[in-house]
Chain A
């Protein structure tokens, strides 16, 4: 601990020295540099080293498992490769193929469909839950846990249970719906209703997680702000829009970005619930990539499709950053 303080002092001294400050502080501390074991360079080197050591496990993993494969993708996307031997360059052939690949178009559309419905739905529900569970509700710790439960449940088990709930004939969901309508949807067996069913399960799974993130954000808002707003005679709704939402912007931004990327990359849910079916009605981009690569052994073309997914995620995220910066200024 004392060393820490020493470091700070030395730094201060160095800074003073460098800027040519001859103030009393600088003058008094300057000799310390000579006395101390570390000179400025060594200190900053050591800090850099320690810093690098701390981030290295994550960073090495990121470089080896994410960055390098992603960079390689830009090469493999222009090749034909079955994972045996070396990729063989085939120019823009993959891209031409992509341009009239109907299954690819369908999967892009399905991914967008999923995201456009899933993102706002999850955000609104998670926010509403967070606000609700941030109030002085009796047993709120219990409800917070319950809301988080779906996120830690094994998706395979959950998908199985939801499959039973969605059963068109004997499932509880349709049994309930039959009280009101005579012909409830066929859910997972119907091309029109399979995607809504998947979205329902996706939302159910993720709401709890984002609720916790938003809850953490809500608790950082100083209560004085609400008290002041109350004194000004605002109602609850106004306080929500003019105090909560602006104060939550950093958290909301983070949630939006992770939620968006997560939605575009959705794979496990459709894989276990519908396997992309019926037909291609729930086939999303990530699953199409998985299929082309691992079922058909066509890694070149799979890389091409992956690049498109990467581009979509990138563009959407950049737009979000741009919008966030605009609001911040």
Chain B
């Protein structure tokens, strides 16, 4: 009997050890495969990977990237799977939670990045990130999550100041430059307000600036330029850093430098029309607008005038930084955690190519702002007819210290949704900036997202 027990125990032990060994082997094998990444990529093997995109007719970037990559790697075919632009995140959420996500997919905004990577749906691509270490042409800030990288930026629009050169010239006002603070911006607005009517612009409908009604126009500039880290402000629900930015924004609308928030919001004013039909001489906006403006000027939707991009004005309460600080929201590429073997290797190769110079040049040809910007990319981006071509615009587009539009954290979605209400109550004058921001602090605390 004792023998029997011993034998059984032994057998069990051996079996267990065997299983563990096998499992260990399997695990070791797959992790080896994963870490080998692009090295394990066999360029001769025929491989097909899927790549998610949205509104393919309107957004050529997905097809362009897929085709250009196929051209460079003839054995890899990239099939673009179409999603709806508006419901992209909802559809992707459904796909990831059921494990049906494509091999490679864009992550539209950084806020979802954390959610997705926490969901175990993304493959660890730290090895590609490592290859960008010390590379000054691409900025990976904010992508490290629990010590790993699960996505890398391929597009990165940053906020700059668009301005109408003709209007400045006719009014005889000095053009914006890289040393501008928001006070200089307001001073120029005051000057434009006085001089534009004399230059032949309608005093009632033409404004010196247009501040669009999005919360980021005030809040994200404040966060980027306040000089404090988001961990000690935004993520602690301390929003007092926004107060001076709100006071200025309110003053500008009171002085009628811009269409007031309420009109802009309820009448759903299109910022493209406001700047494109010369109703505003200056407008802080993301660089994506450059491509829109070029095509609208060609199609006649926008009037023809010469324009430029200047760096975003800086915080007047801080020392002027060497590189202008602005904010942006990169779009990134991630790989499905379900992909393996040659598919995974090809997917990694694709992501590496798309986030590097190869993909960047293709995007720049489409007037899309890539995340990877070197001189060659800049040259390509500014080559189309109708694009601003002065050096100042090139510098504004390519040289900046970009902060995240909102910090990458679990609580961000909730905080931002509360701050959206704060924005409308402050901008409509329902609450003073200090009361509104204090209320936001309380509301965020009540939601209980901070202590998690």
Chain A residues at the B interface, C-beta cutoff of 8 Å: 82-85, 93, 97, 100-103, 160, 163-164, 166-169, 186, 188-191, 274-281, 283, 291, 294-298
Contact = CB atoms under 8 A, between A and B. Distances in A.
Interface in B421-450: 421-422, 424-425, 427-431, 436, 442-443, 446-448
A85 B266 contact: no
Contact of A279 (B417, B424, B447): B424
Given A84-B96, A102-B446, A280-B421, A294 B90 contact: yes
A190 B442 contact: no
10 contacts: A85-B97, A97-B448, A102-B446, A103-B443, A186-B428, A188-B262, A189-B428, A189-B429, A276-B421, A279-B430
Given A186-B262, A190-B428, A294-B90, A84 B446 contact: no
Interface residues of B, number: 34
B267 A164 contact: yes
Interface stretch (B9-17, B115-123, B343-351): B115-123
Given A278-B428, A280-B421, A296 B414 contact: yes
A175 to B, nearest CB: 15
Given A84-B118, A163-B267, A166-B266, A97 B447 contact: yes
B36 interface: no
A239 to B, nearest CB: 46
Is chain A's binding surface mostly helix, strand, loop or mixed? loop
Contacts of A296: 413-414, 417
B93 interface: yes
Contacts of A278: 262, 424-425, 427-428, 430
A291 to B, nearest CB: 6
A269 to B, nearest CB: 14
B418 interface: yes
B425 A85 contact: no
A101 B442 CA distance: 10
A297 B92 CA distance: 13
A167 B266 contact: yes
B347 to A, nearest CB: 21
B115 A84 contact: yes
B268 interface: yes
B306 interface: no
B97 A83 contact: yes
Contacts of B115: 82, 84, 297
A186 B436 CA distance: 19
Q: Identify the interface centre among A164, A167, A168, A297: most chain B CB within 10 Å of its CB.
A: A297
B263 interface: yes
B219 to A, nearest CB: 15
A191 B417 contact: no
Contacts of B413: 295-298
B268 A84 contact: no
Contact of A189 (B96, B118, B266): B266
A14 B199 CA distance: 98
Can you list the 5 inter-chain pairs with the closest CB atoms, starting with the nearest? A279-B425, A189-B262, A277-B424, A84-B119, A278-B428
A283 B421 CA distance: 9
B93 A83 contact: yes
A106 to B, nearest CB: 10
Contacts of A277: 265, 421, 424-425, 428
Contacts of B418: 103
B421 A295 contact: no
A279 B431 contact: yes
A183 to B, nearest CB: 14
A247 B37 CA distance: 78
Interface string B107-118: 000000001001
B442 A102 contact: yes
Contacts of A93: 448
A166 B267 CA distance: 10
A103 B445 CA distance: 12
Contacts of B446: 97, 100-103
Contacts of B422: 279
B447 A101 contact: yes
Contacts of B430: 190-191, 278-279, 281
A294 to B, nearest CB: 7
Contacts of B428: 186, 189-191, 277-279
Contacts of A279: 421-422, 424-425, 428, 430-431, 436
B403 to A, nearest CB: 22
Contacts of A280: 421, 425
Contacts of B448: 93, 97
Contact of A167 (B267, B427, B436, B447): B267
Contacts of A297: 115, 413
A278 B420 CA distance: 10
Contacts of B96: 84
Nearest to B422: A279
Given A101-B447, A294-B90, A297-B413, A163 B266 contact: yes
A191 B439 CA distance: 15
Contacts of A166: 266
B136 to A, nearest CB: 35
A168 B97 contact: no
Contacts of A169: 263
Interface string B243-279: 0000000000000000000110111100000000000
Nearest to B116: A84
A275 B214 CA distance: 13
Contacts of B436: 279
A149 to B, nearest CB: 23
Given A167-B267, A189-B429, 8 more contacts: A84-B96, A102-B446, A168-B262, A190-B428, A190-B430, A277-B424, A296-B414, A297-B413
Nearest to B87: A294
Contacts of A190: 428, 430
A152 to B, nearest CB: 22
Contact of A188 (B121, B266, B421): B266
Interface in B29-83: none
Interface in B203-262: 262
B295 to A, nearest CB: 25
A82 B265 CA distance: 30
Residue of A84, A275, A291 with most chain B CB atoms under a 10 A cut-off: A84
Nearest to B97: A84
Contacts of B421: 103, 276-277, 279-280, 283
A84 B425 contact: no
Contacts of B93: 83-84
Nearest to B93: A83
Contacts of B425: 191, 277-281
A291 B417 contact: yes
